Amino acid sequence: MSDRLIIFDTTLRDGEQSPGATMTEDEKIEVARQLVKLGVDVIEAGFPAASPGDLRAVQRISREVKGVTICALARANQQDIDAAWEGVRDAEQPRIHTFIATSPIHMEYKLRKTPEQVLEAARFAVRTAKRYVSDVEFSAEDATRSDWDFLCRVFAAAIEEGATTINIPDTVGYAVPHEFAELVRYVTEHTPGIEKVTVSVHCHNDLGLATANTLAAIRVGARQAEVTINGIGERAGNTALEEVVMALHVRRDVFGGILPRVVTEQIVPTSKLVQRITGIQVQPNKAIVGANAFAHEAGIHQDGMLKHRMTYEIMTPQSVGWEASRLVLGKHSGRAGFTARLKELGYGDLSRERIEQLYQRFIDLCDRKKTVTDADIIAIVEDQLAQV
């Protein structure tokens, strides 16, 4: 089994389905170019049957963005697949991604089809897409609420028709990690022909488990992860690219060296670009890309960091594209952090007594003010020195 993980980025398709995240054509091109710099393998550029604008954006990305597979989404019908082909026909490496739901609730209420009709539609979709491109991905929507044996039958049919990637979506973020891993393992052990294709997973974050589920699936053989930048996407979002990539790097010991070819230093620049373009800001405590991901306020932590950064950091900020860690000064900070900041501000030669006096004034100010800036600290020092 390969030890390379394929990164399938769907920021421009599932990510754009986040309320308020709509991007213009030019913005999509800018994001797509940055995704190439980041080193993703596949860009899902859009859903051409959804609107003429979506089709145009996929066509432009296919013409202008090279060095990566460009994928278009299509439901399992002729019109969608034709539109997807129109979208990606000029791409250097085109892929059509076709899907149909396989869970009882989706088949009965949404599709109004019997399982046998769904199976036939899956066959038809892959066969039709295959007439246009060699690279065809098939997804069983709502796989995690589907009957496992039926799922395997549908995947086997898709493989027989020529699918090259089989995707297992946790469409509604319902799975939990050990169960999702069991499902992926079951599919790989009970689907004829599965050894010829790439097994992919696509997780949503409704229970906050998208990254955990994706990693659990990778451990049991999934070799494509479908992700978005900052985890944007429908409802609570999709698996965050930055979390999966850094978990694989930081915990190589448990993942046996399975790695994507992502340039990790491009993670933060890409995250910032997507935040600026979509207007969706990540929360400060967001793993890897949040403003506080490498900030330390507690005195004990600052003291530890000053002695050896690995006491409180499991990766360097530079490895993901931040300039440096931040020791944030606040009422939880101790003397070590405060003294280090004084040094940075050019006050490295103060006596212990003087530092103690300044520290007491600083702590006093912290109780009165939410954030104490460098300017506040300089004002305290200058005022104190003026009194000498």
Residues that bind Zn ion (CB under 5 A): 14
**Is 202 annotated for ligand binding?**
yes
Residue nearer to ligand KIV on the CB measure, 159 or 305: 159
**Is 238 annotated for ligand binding?**
yes
Collapsing DSSP to helix, strand or coil, 143 comes out as helix
237 binds ligand KIV per the rule CB under 6 A: no
Phi–psi pair at 95, nearest 5 degrees: -135, 140
274 touches 255 (CB < 8 A): no
Residue nearer to ligand KIV on the CB measure, 231 or 337: 231
Residue 233 beta carbon to Zn ion: minimum distance, rounded to whole angstroms:
6
Residue 232 beta carbon to Zn ion: minimum distance, rounded to whole angstroms:
11
171 binds ligand KIV per the rule CB under 6 A: yes
Angle between helices 335-344 and 299-307 (to 10 degrees): 60
Instruction: Collect all residues with Cβ–Cβ distance below 8 Å to 208 and sequence separation of at least 6.
Output: 236
The stretch near ligand KIV (CB under 6 A) out of 20-28, 32-40, 128-136, 167-175 is 167-175
202 binds ligand KIV per the rule CB under 6 A: yes
Tokens of 48: 């051409």
Query: Percent helix, strand, coil in the chain (nearest 5)?
Result: 50, 15, 35
Residue 270 beta carbon to ligand KIV: minimum distance, rounded to whole angstroms:
21
Q: Which of residues 214-233 bind ligand KIV (CB under 6 A)?
A: none
Residues binding ligand KIV: number (CB under 6 A): 10
14 binds ligand KIV per the rule CB under 6 A: yes
C-alpha span between 84 and 75 (Å, rounded)? 9
234 touches 18 (CB < 8 A): yes
- CA distances to 16, 132, 142 from 233, rounded to whole Å, are 6, 28, 16
Which entry of Zn ion, ligand KIV, none binds 141, CB below 5 to 8 A by partner kind? Answer: ligand KIV
Q: Which of residues 86-145 bind ligand KIV (CB under 6 A)?
A: 99, 139, 141
Instruction: Collect all residues with Cβ–Cβ distance below 8 Å to 50 and sequence separation of at least 6.
Output: none
C-alpha span between 388 and 369 (Å, rounded)? 26
Q: Which of 76, 37, 43 is nearest to 60 (CA)?
A: 43
Residue 82 beta carbon to ligand KIV: minimum distance, rounded to whole angstroms:
18
Contact residues for ligand KIV, defined by CB under 6 A: 14, 73, 99, 139, 141, 167, 169, 171, 202, 204
- Indicate the annotated binding residues: 14, 202, 204, 238
Binding site for Mn(2+), by residue number, is 14, 202, 204, 238
